[in-house]
Chains A and B, each alone.
Chain A
Amino acid sequence: MTTPVNTSSGASASVNLSSIVATAEQLIDGWELVVGLEVHVELATKTKLFSASANRFGDEPNTHIDPVTLGLPGALPVLNRHAVELAMRLGLALNCRVQPCTFHRKNYFYPDLPKAYQISQYDQPLNIDGWLMLPGDVRIGVERAHLEEDTGKSTHAGGAEGRIQGSDYSLIDFNRAGVPLVEIVSRPDIRTSDQAKQYVSELRGILLAVGASDAKMEEGSMRCDVNVSVHKPGTPFGTRCEIKNVNSIRSVGRAIDYEARRQIDLINSGGVVKQQTLHWDDVAGRTNVLRTKEDADDYRYFLEPDLVPLAPDAAWIERVRAALPPLPAARRAALATLTGAGKESESVAVIVERGQDEYISAVAKVGGDAARALIYVQQAFAEEPATPRVPAGDIAALSLMEKNAKLTSTQAKTLLAELVTNGGGDVLAMAKAKGFEAMATGALESIVDQAIAADPQAWAKYKAGEQKAIGALVGAVMKLSAGKADGKAVTALLQAKASS
């Protein structure tokens, strides 16, 4: 843990009787799980936090460096204002208070830390006291979201498993050194591994929505440290362990489940959980001890004398707040209202995550059927950008044709695929070209009558209440109509006839 503030329980647990209590179903063999997350995200700035070198991932090693990045003697940091603004944007999106703040030095030796200290924020972070709402209105406190600089990246060659111990040599890429990070520290309000996953997912959505980060866990621009402890409900928090190297949302869940089980089994067998920093081994699916509390570094924090206090004025804060885009939760609610889908339905979540909700609004605006558009976009636009190439008008036309039974759902699907392939098209012309012309209700009725006449036994059974019998009749209609009839319309027609 990198901040002075405990996110989960320490040894002095008397104050840690939480008001947030797990439900009976959430307990694990009678144990309550307590999780706090520290999430580091790289901010999407053009340049580094304290120098003009580019903030870019994936380039040739050591190409985005300068005297400040390398910690050369005499080089001084100059704070990147855009990084502060992005951090404020994130803080405000997390309902934090933006406050006057200072920078501290966190001192420790490591080859990828060029100055042998990291410039971070300590007792006066930029953003404090926020919260993030999970689906089901579960509110997770956000203790703080502070600015700091990233380290370089070490690669240990030879020896065991990419660890420095026993390696033949180590290579350091300083392109990442000095990249602006925000560390978002949750309160220990999370009670299940699913909530932890939801928290990370929701946080990611917010980061993307406000443009603070590209939040790519696989590239390390979003990284999670997980604090886990277990205790019996109503008793003080247990001793926590911090798990590092948890690099996907799925791993967050797995690491927590593994660690909770390990701690419970340890206590049940008479052992005591020791405060430790653990390393998540994703391949083996287990945690390993990195270090114990006793050999933890003393970071000797003190005020960074090369920087001055940062006090964003009210006007700046309000300007950033006013410019905040709608956040995922609000967008999901709006999309649910627009489409009639549930606000926690998967389709709504997926579309908002892809940022395609605006697009569905656009379809609705030009008169399209929002509910059908939601389904189309979810099914066919997974590879499309937030603003798909297919003009909203085309999707609107398609949705109306299906709604008005001018197309069967199967036909609509075929045309949708074609729209995606071609980046749009004249839906009416496409339907005509494919012979998907409308089947008028009159024409359909006569085909239905033909089918009934051809299979009186099935008709009799259906009329007698045998629902299964309708299958044969619908099948016959489809065959007679060469697939142009709408299955739903046929069913409705048969029902109407049977009950008349």
Chain B
Amino acid sequence: MSPTQGTGRADRAHSAGRTVVDIAAAVANGSLSAVAVLEENLAAIAARESEVHAFNLVTADRARERATQIDADVQAGKKVGRLAGVTIALKDNMCTRGVETTCSSKILAGWKPPYDATVVRRLADEGAVFVGKTNLDEFAMGSSTENSAFGPTRNPLDTSRVPGGSSGGSAAAVAAGFATASLGSDTGGSIRQPAALCGLVGVKPTYGMVSRQGLVAFGSSLDQIGPFTTTVADAALMMEVIAGHDPLDSTSLPQPAPMLTGELSKGVQGMRIGRITDMPEGSSPDVLAQLEAAFDALRAAGATVVDVQMPSMLYGLTAYYLVAPAEASSNLARFDGVRYGLRVDAKDLNSMYGATRAAGFGDEVKRRIMLGTYALSAGYYDAYYGKALKVRRLIADDFAQAYTKCDAILTPTSPTVAFKFGDKTSNPLAMYLCDVFTIPTNLAGHAAMSVPFGTGEAGLPVGVQILAPALGEAPMFRVAAELERAQ
């Protein structure tokens, strides 16, 4: 397929309308200047960023320098990378050397890492131009980006609504045309859910496929970095650049990046697509209608739809809210005011710890630190954390069983389209339920992605989630490309 065809939907908000694949090809052959691409994005930022608030930091000067260099390299006939001139926004929990990395938390405000995350280095090596650091729910804890210490991000498609979260800034940046693509991190759905709410493609790779080195950890056994793009082909190319073994991450899988762009034209003829018969309830009718349409489209393209069971799916949420906070309580303990970030002075060491962390962390972060600390405490470990690990095993077993019958599974990404600000902030449990479909994949360490498929309430995009087994990126992208073609 020609990547420029994309989804071509009228409700798409990105002004430039360029794709990663287009830009990389055009900049490399000299028919498009990297500076021009960047200036389009910067113009969009100037026009709408005050309203959207996708960024914690726009690195316009650095980006201009970089784009100019790439154009000069092209002029000089030097070989440029696979992402030459592609503008990319980075979630502000990925370390960027010398550039503030805050996790949208007061406790890290002003902190400049002395090193680049592996993904940042890989993108830079291929000629990407970084536009800025995007807003997120503090330390990636949330599903609406309302938990940012620096104020919420608005959904560019309807600014009275949330962009989803926690990678809401990264999703909004691409949806608003502030960048061609972006990176998010996904611990329980933090890429897929905002992708769905903003009408984008969002990928949560197999655990270990993309290096976590330089990603500020939330739930280390769950976190994965992945791309937001406007097309499936763009996501495939981004994956090829960022994935692959990294010796600096011990959990990185010992294999090269999967070749995905070649998969996109293969179609789904003969593929078996799973439909979960005991899916958790609560999805809105507009979302379920699009899911049915997606099954129909795949069937029409030659796939078979088969019934599978996931009895443990609902327990995934419970297990997740023990495992992720437990790991977070440990991962966030280093923010103690001793070496970097915020310090609130006090009369002695313990008071300094308390005062710093009380002032530095927001409510949701504190809630999860407390949950996680409790779950790991002596006398409670077996009942909570220990049991959550068993549920994790059950979920993996359920998936293993399901994947004996099918190659991929379709579910909604989010139970609803983008919701209004404040709808769920007073009820953490309602917010947590946003991730009921996305969480099990993280617990199992499998691959998943969200692709936009039709619209629902108020003409807002609906995302369909494609689940695939570990290292099942190739079949997953075949399904995604087919759904994109069916639009």
Q: Which A residues are closer than 8 A to B by beta carbons?
A: 67, 70-79, 105, 107, 109, 111, 114-117, 164, 172, 298, 300-302, 305-308
Find out whether the CB atom of A116 lies under 8 angstroms from the CB atom of B115.
no
Are B103 and A302 within 8 A (Cβ)?
A: no
**Complex contacts, A109 vs chain B, CB 8 Å:** 333, 336, 353
Report the minimal beta-carbon distance from B344 to chain A, rounded to whole angstroms. 15
Interface string of B94-136 (1 = CB under 8 A from A): 1100000101000010010111010000000000000000000
Roughly how many angstroms separate A151 CA and B195 CA in the complex, as a whole number? Answer: 42
Complex partner residue of B95 from A74, A77, A107, A305, CB under 8 angstroms? A74
Chain B residues contacting A164 (CB-CB under 8 Å) are 349
Candidates B213, B330, B349, B378; contact of A76 at CB < 8 Å: B213
B216 within 8 A of A: yes
Residue contact B336 to A116, C-beta cutoff 8 Å:
yes
Collect the chain A residues with CB atoms within 8 Å of residue B373's CB: 300
- Asked if B377 lies at the interface with its beta carbon under 8 angstroms from chain A, I say yes
Chain A facing B: main interface SS:
loop
Distance between A443 CB and nearest chain B CB, rounded to angstroms = 78
Complex interface: chain B residues within 8 A of A307 (CB): 250-251
Once the chains bind, are B114 and A67 in contact (CB under 8 Å)?
yes
In the bound complex, do residue B339 and residue A115 qualify as a contact, i.e. CB atoms below 8 Å apart? no
- Known contacts A75-B115, A76-B212, A105-B330; can you find 9 more A-B pairs with CB under 8 A? A73-B334, A74-B101, A74-B113, A74-B212, A75-B213, A75-B214, A164-B349, A300-B373, A300-B378
- In the complex, whether B221 has a CB less than 8 A from a CB of chain A is yes
Asked if B423 lies at the interface with its beta carbon under 8 angstroms from chain A, I say no
A-B contact pairs, 5 of them (CB 8 A): A76-B213, A114-B339, A300-B376, A300-B378, A307-B251
Bits for B211-227, please: 1 = Cβ < 8 Å to A, else 0: 01111110111000000
A302/B216 contact (C-beta < 8 A), A77-B250, A109-B353 known: no
Q: Is B295 an interface residue (CB 8 A)?
A: no
B473 CB-CB contact with A under 8 Å: no
Which residues of the other chain, B, contact A73 by a CB distance below 8 angstroms? 95, 101, 103, 108, 111, 113, 216-217, 334
Q: How far is A302 from B214 in the complex, measured between Cα atoms in Å?
A: 22
A72 to B334, CA, bound (A): 8
- Binary contact track B51-72/A, C-beta < 8 Å → 1, others 0: 0000000000000000000000
User: Is A74 in contact with B213, judged by CB distance below 8 angstroms?
Assistant: yes
Given known contacts A76-B213, A77-B250, A308-B250, A67 and B334 CB-to-CB distance under 8 angstroms: no
Partner of B250, one of A78, A172, A302: A78
B94–A74 CB distance below 8 A? yes
B298 an interface residue at 8 Å Cβ cutoff?
no
Most buried by B among A109, A301, A308: A109
A367 to chain B, nearest CB (A): 55
Known: A76-B212, A109-B333, A164-B349. Contact between A306 and B251, CB under 8 A? yes
State the CA gap A109–B335 with chains docked (Å).
10
Q: Which residues of A contact B114 (CB under 8 A)?
A: 67, 72
Q: Smallest CB-CB separation from A117: which chain B residue? A: B330
Tell me the minimal C-beta distance from A28 to chain B in angstroms: 35
Residues of chain A with a CB closer than 8 A to B251's CB: 305-308
Query: A116-B334, A302-B330 are contacts. A76–B221 as well, Cβ < 8 Å?
Result: no
CB distance from A83 to the nearest CB of B (A): 14
- Which chain B positions have C-beta within 8 A of A75? 115, 213-214
A76 to B108, CA, bound (A): 18
Residues on B close to A: CB < 8 A? 94-95, 101, 103, 108, 111, 113-115, 117, 212-217, 219-221, 247-251, 326-327, 329-330, 333-334, 336, 338-340, 349, 353, 373, 376-378, 381, 385
Q: How far is the CB of A322 from chain B (nearest CB, A)?
A: 28
The answer to whether B349 and A74 have CB atoms under 8 Å apart is: no
Tell me the minimal C-beta distance from B216 to chain A in angstroms: 4
Bound-complex Cα distance A172 to B327 (A): 27
B113 contacts A107, C-beta separation under 8 Å = no
Contact B338 A111 (CB under 8 A): yes
- Shortest Cβ distance from A301 into chain B, in angstroms? 8
Evaluate contact between B113 and A79: CB separation under 8 angstroms: no
- How far apart sit A305 and B250, CA to CA, in the bound complex (Å)? 10
Q: Which 10 A-B pairs have the closest CB atoms?
A: A116-B333, A305-B221, A305-B220, A300-B376, A73-B216, A74-B214, A74-B95, A71-B334, A298-B378, A111-B338
Nearest Cβ on chain B to A174's Cβ, whole angstroms: 9
Q: Could you tell me the distance in whole angstroms from the C-beta of B241 to the nearest C-beta in chain A?
A: 19
Q: How far is the CB of A120 from chain B (nearest CB, A)?
A: 13
Residues of A near B334 (CB, < 8 A) are 71, 73, 114-116
Q: What's the least CB distance linking A172 to chain B, in Å? A: 8
Query: How far does the Cβ of A353 sit from chain B's closest Cβ, in whole Å?
Result: 39
On whether the beta carbons of A302 and B349 are closer than 8 Å, the reply is no
Select from chain B the residue with minimum beta-carbon distance to A73.
B216
Residues of B within 8 A of A305 (CB): 219-221, 251, 327
Contact (A71, B216) CB under 8 Å given A78-B248, A117-B330:
no
Interface pair B220/A72, CB less than 8 Å apart: no
Complex Cα–Cα for A308 and B353 (A): 31
Contact between A300 and B377 (Cβ–Cβ < 8 Å)?
Answer: yes
Q: What residues on B are CB-neighbors of A116 within 8 Å?
A: 330, 333-334, 336
In the complex with contacts A72-B114, A111-B338, A305-B327, A78-B247 CB distance below 8 A: yes
CB-based contact A107/B339 at 8 Å? no
> How far, in whole Å, are A67 and B336 apart by their CA atoms in the complex?
16
CB pair A302 B213 closer than 8 Å: no
A74 touches B336 (CB 8 A): no
CB <8 Å contact, B113 and A72: yes
Q: How far is the CB of B208 from chain A (nearest CB, A)?
A: 9
Nearest-neighbour CB distance to chain A for B353, whole angstroms, equals: 6
Q: Are B377 and A298 in contact (CB under 8 A)?
A: yes
Q: How far is the CB of A151 from chain B (nearest CB, A)?
A: 13
Q: Is the CB of A70 within 8 A of B215?
A: no
Which residues of A sit under 8 angstroms from B101, Cβ to Cβ?
73-74
Closest to A296 in B: B378
Q: What separation, in Å, do the CA atoms of A77 and B251 have in the docked complex?
A: 10
Chain A residue with minimal CB distance to B213?
A76
Contacts of B338 in A (CB 8 A): 111, 114, 172
Is A74's CB under 8 angstroms from B330's CB?
A: no
Q: How far is the CB of B184 from chain A (nearest CB, A)?
A: 15
Compute how far the CA of A71 lies from the CA of B334 in the bound complex, rounded to whole angstroms.
Answer: 7
